[in-house]
Amino acid sequence: MEKKLAEYKCDTNEAICLKLGSEVAFGYKGLQIQLFYTAGNLSTLFKVKYSSKVNDTFDCVEADNVEGKIREIIPAGFTCNSDDFVSLLEKEANFKPFGTMLHSYTVHNEEGEQLTYQIHKAEISCPGFQEYHERLQTFLMWFIETASFLEVDDDRWDFFLVFEKYNKDGETLYATVGYMTVYNYYVYPDKTRPRVSQMLILPPFQGEGHGAQLLEAVHRFYCGLPKVQDITAEDPSENYVKLRDYVLTKLCQNLPSFDADKLHLGFSADMIKEAQEKLKINKKHARRVYEILRLRATDMSDEEKARAYRLEVKKRLFGPYRKNQRELAKMRKCLRPEELVSHMGQLDTQAQQEELEKSYQLALEDYRRVLERLASQA
């Protein structure tokens, strides 16, 4: 389905207008599915429009139940009446962000205006929040493939919300920008491990740094909780990993154990300990941060220093290939020759070397992108 956020905070009605019009649906001509959300409370207007529709009486076929499919996604409480929706728009001034504000920051837009944003932490017990969250998570279905709704009737869920704070006609209003959900897993004997489950910045706000602001605010929140072991993510996307690399490197670059003069000595136990104790970063993520910061501290035009860095990174990347070699050694002992031959192609040394070099170059590309972003923010 082609999913586009056609309008946000329209000049006439302060609403999100979401048009879904390219899904293959049988039985309609000129089909348009429109969802309008108020910018703050996300009150919803749902409309289905079409110029003609097949009829089972005259055409002997039945059109797809498009409206029914959408109704399965959007929660109860939406309206199909434009006048009713306008009355909901007029109540937007009464909407206030849920929960406790953790962080506030400003961004300058292309016109040079200073825009103010707030990050709040909310719990499902906040009055009205559960209904708001049901409307909020519908955006996952419009913008993220394979997304699914959460079962949030569990007090171990934490919710972090980003809002734009702005003035209109002398009133202070708030617009929903994005959010993150985190589940607090138990770690024996008395710790918890917050795991990021979902994260979404709405398309009109993407590319403005809100994801980094949100992830950093969440990390800083959990860093202040002694019971937290470390922070992880559930099945992170490639874009999330890149965002996390940037945020964690930004946080770690001022830690004493990550000083430039210590980076060339290799990844150390002090780095692991300090990253975990002060920033709730686990060993695996701390290692990536070390490689990024060591790249910044390495003169890659110096052949000897570049080679030392390359070997250091490849030593980590070689882990899966080393595992393959151990498996091959076991196979030699227990497989018949004809069976062993069928597995040799998967473990070809030359192919492994080529894959290792490819993985190194991709890592280098990602690391340089992080360093460029850090330099631009300095």
Q: Which residues are tagged catalytic?
A: 234
CA–CA dist 5, 178 (Å, integer): 14
CA–CA dist 200, 73 (Å, integer): 17
CA–CA dist 258, 277 (Å, integer): 14
Nearest to 289 by CA among 249, 247, 332, 230: 249
CA–CA dist 137, 197 (Å, integer): 12
The answer to whether 161 touches 152, Cβ cutoff 8 Å, is no
Nearest to 196 by CA among 236, 238, 256: 236
CA–CA dist 337, 347 (Å, integer): 15
**Dihedral sign computed on CA atoms, order 149, 151, 153, 157:** negative
Q: How many other β-carbons are positioned within 10 Å of the β-carbon of residue 123?
A: 15
Query: DSSP class of residue 228?
Result: B
Nearest to 44 by CA among 106, 116, 167, 131: 131
Element containing residue 161 per DSSP (H, E): strand 157-168
Q: What is the dihedral of CA 63, 66, 71, 74, to 10 degrees?
A: 180
The answer to whether 343 touches 335, Cβ cutoff 8 Å, is yes
Q: What is the dihedral of CA 129, 130, 136, 141, to 10 degrees?
A: 170
CA–CA dist 139, 8 (Å, integer): 14
Nearest to 319 by CA among 295, 267, 355, 273: 355
Residue partners of 187: CB distance under 8 A and separation at least 6: 193, 229
